Structure 1
């Protein structure tokens, strides 16, 4: 029996759109659950050691094996200062994104990189290397969660353990042994600077012996290490 003022056509129209509302509700729920799961997964990285990254897995398949050894931050010697001086001098001062570097990169026609160490951790640990708008968007979201839930000391510790530092070589410890035959904690500041100098292209450059370019770049990084230490731009490494 129809209510007054209601027609059979109105009822049919409402029924017609119920599946759409049902799909929309489930879509919202799925997005919400994925967001919560992603937040918890990234947040857990504050304590959990990543078992393997996409890049490490790909290189392991390509080469048949890789060199990597996980180290706590206090065992990495001069490497933290070296990579900050080389890759992200404002690491202790920004919240994951270096706006000035991004602006400079855009003004440079994108010839220069603008990724902070936090962004590189987000990409290296949770994503893949191939550039795309999807990856960039996910990288930005993950970077924000990392900065919200991890201390700076944990961010640099993870970076120093997952960064590619040679062909089939990952992390500070494997790099120190591969390039100079010593433990990471025993690297001199200059040797650490040479390793940091090859980071933009670790498969195509050598930390030992050095080309003229790497030698010059290493000296510049070494000087930068002293400056940022003097200016207090390494103080965040004692957090957490």
Structure 2
């Protein structure tokens, strides 16, 4: 099966491409570095032409009020190109609980991306994942001042990128869900404790201070980003991943 993976050179995309290729599919990675621009549309029609499935793993370059425009333009362009190219399935990766954090522009933007896909002309699947373990270092850096990391106690349920890519690859070759599959890691941590666990495993002189006003996750209320109902629980534990 020919599968076009847009954003196929990034953290998740590169793993998805490898998994699909190992399973015998013709998986083609596309990104800005290969000449495909989802905003201008440059190279997009050529990238998806003849693909049975289009997987969109592109992401907004910012998490602020500019992010909705990115997702609207990129999805409009991608769906038009995919329809012209004859694709029968479009897959996107979103955020579990995004619809429960309307206060944050980036989460609203991800819900917008989902809504555009749902309203589009092509059968679809949405994979909603919790926060990647690989991004926890970046989360700590956002609120670091000197040797102090300020983090809210927001509950998170981190998932390994490998587990996310396994699921995306599986969904891509399956029957379109015309719905959403949630996936999450096996453990819930308050973010400030997650920061302490991270720095205990890889000490660098920083300490964590609990500050429920700090960073993007301060906008998250309660357990909005925690798995509920029939979400799939991935196998990789955070401490195992750290080690």
TM-based fold match above 0.5: no
Normalised TM-score (structure 1):
0.25
Indicate the structure (1 or 2) with the bigger Cα radius of gyration: 1
Higher helix share: 1
Higher strand share: 2
Normalised TM-score (structure 2):
0.24
